[in-house]
Amino acid sequence: MKRIFLFLLSLSVFTISHAQLRLPSLFDDHMVLQQQSPAPIWGWAHPSQDIVINVSWDTTTIKTKADNTTYWSTTIFTPPAGGPYTITIKAGGEVRTLQDVLIGEVWLCSGQSNMEWSMESSGDGKEMISQVNDPKIRLFHVSKSAASFPQVHGEGKWKACNPEGVKYFSAVGYFFGKKLNQNLNVPIGLINVSWGGTPAETWVPEGRILADPALKASAEKQIDDRPWCPSRPGVVYNSMINPIVPFRIAGTLWYQGESNTGAPETYKHLMETMVTEWRRVFLTEFPFYFVQIAPYSGYGDESGVLLREQQVEMLQIPKSGIVVISDLVDNVKDIHPKYKKPVGERLANLALAQTYGQKNIGYQSPVYKSFKIEKGRIRISFDYATNGLMSKGGEPTEFQIAGADNKFYPAKAKIDGNTVVVSAKEVKTPVAVRFAWSNAAMPNLFSKEGLPVPSFHTDK
């Protein structure tokens, strides 16, 4: 018996020492690769070992070599959308073949709980789960983990988009991918990298936070050693983003901000820093489309509306877009709006219009541009209101104006084409205007395409 045990032990050691070809969990059966792009592929093998890669859509053989740390990487050039294909990787006597590989559009879905919110939990997703059957959509959920140092291995698995696979997947992500697939008629890969409760600092490399005095100070306000989610700078980036870079993506969806209302004044700068860093490590200037946080009565002071203002200013980030959801809230006491389908579809409209060039799509909420004083009234102009404005349920609400004394009074508002004219009998000479300037405001002003206008104020 002892001899048998020693033989089996030596055999297992031999197997482990010789089975050294390893791939990140993203490179597996049923994966989706970004179409018509130089797609990085990487892994580990014996030091200095030759790596040979063959893909079924091309006759070219790709060769590279592992370095002295066992790491290897190369690039495979992908064709137009299609599949299924195979990718075969050889390292010495080992062979790994990835089956059922699709080529299409790959999107990263990230943020905190409202992005993580599953189909099972959403008000408009649960009843649809049993009907889901989208063979050209593939789902990858990066497992939650946090680490003080950058990790190279992350847990996750590609799943089919069927009732079992979609049940616990991001509802916003699924509804985005569903509409993209219907309109583009190409395979869609969705990578969900989200964690409820996380402040944005956890998604940025710690070094970038500590090197910036303003971000370092705001990060210290966010640290809360709660057991259910991390809050320290960089720890989620290290273990959930670093293991998947530089996987080629078409773009990123971001739904986060609720956990940063404790320090809203630096949020735009923080997001600029995060997007810059993510674009650097993913090796592409991908589009970044984000959801503005919803009206919620539980924020202190004006922290919620101040953060929403920062999110509007994030439109200054190149290749970005905002989805405003002030009309999609059924209960301002709930930080998690239950309906996720219109959120995902508005994100999809942004991508279809701005990334894929489709026409005649209403995709961008009007945002405040400027105002001018006209004989005791204020006329407000908006960007992204070419086709005009409209209000629902009566004249526009949630406007206030003030004179030189800075006392704000409710104002009457009238739509005039793509402008709004406001006045109040208490203010003879107005100098400033506010719109929906409270944490839980749900105004009724929209673009003609039905997209809500976000909060703004001019008394800065």
Residue 16: predicted pLDDT: 37
The pLDDT tens digits for 307-343 are 999 999 999 999 999 999 999 999 999 999 999 999 9
Element (H, E) at 91: strand 82-91
User: Going by DSSP bridges, is the β-strand pair 399-402/432-435 parallel, antiparallel, or unpaired?
Assistant: antiparallel
Q: What is the mean pLDDT of the segment spanning 189-208? A: 98
Residue 224: predicted pLDDT: 77
Residue 221: predicted pLDDT: 85
Q: CB of 445 within 8 A of CB of 453? A: yes
The pLDDT tens digits for 12-69 are 333 334 459 999 999 999 999 999 999 999 999 999 999 999 999 999 999 999 999 9
Element (H, E) at 222: helix 213-222
Number of residues in the chain: 460
Q: What is the mean pLDDT of the segment spanning 408-433? A: 98
Residue 223: predicted pLDDT: 83
Identify the sign of the CA torsion 195, 199, 204, 210.
negative
Residue 226 has pLDDT above 90, yes or no: no
The pLDDT tens digits for 94-137 are 999 999 999 999 999 999 999 999 999 999 999 999 999 999 99
- The full set of domains in the chain, from first to last, is 17-102 (2.60.40.10), 104-355 (3.40.50.1110), 368-457 (no CATH)
Q: How far is it, in rounded angstroms, from Cα 410 to Cα 401?
A: 7
Q: Of the candidates 238, 189, 256, which has an alpha carbon nearest to the alpha carbon of residue 34? A: 189
C-alpha distances in Å from residue 372, one per residue of 388, 431, 447: 18, 9, 21
User: What does the DSSP assignment read for 272-301?
Assistant: HHHHHHHHHHTTS---EEEEPPPP-TTS-T
- Give, as one character, the DSSP assignment of residue 246: T
Residue 19: predicted pLDDT: 55
Q: What is the mean pLDDT of the segment spanning 282-293? A: 99
| pTM, full prediction | 0.95
Q: How far is it, in rounded angstroms, from Cα 176 to Cα 153?
A: 27
Q: What is the mean pLDDT of the segment spanning 205-214? A: 97
Q: How far is it, in rounded angstroms, from Cα 78 to Cα 64?
A: 18
Q: What is the mean pLDDT of the segment spanning 353-378? A: 97
* Reported confidence tier of residue 293, pLDDT bands at 50, 70, 90: very high
**Rg of the chain on CA atoms, in Å:** 25
Residue 246: predicted pLDDT: 98
Residue 8: predicted pLDDT: 37
Residue 225: predicted pLDDT: 65
Higher-pLDDT residue of 2, 348: 348
- Give, as one character, the DSSP assignment of residue 455: P
Q: Which residue has the tokens 């290290």?
A: 238
Q: Which residue has the tokens 């070809």?
A: 21
Q: Report phi then psi at 328, rounded to 5.
A: -110, 20
The pLDDT tens digits for 235-254 are 999 999 999 999 999 999 99
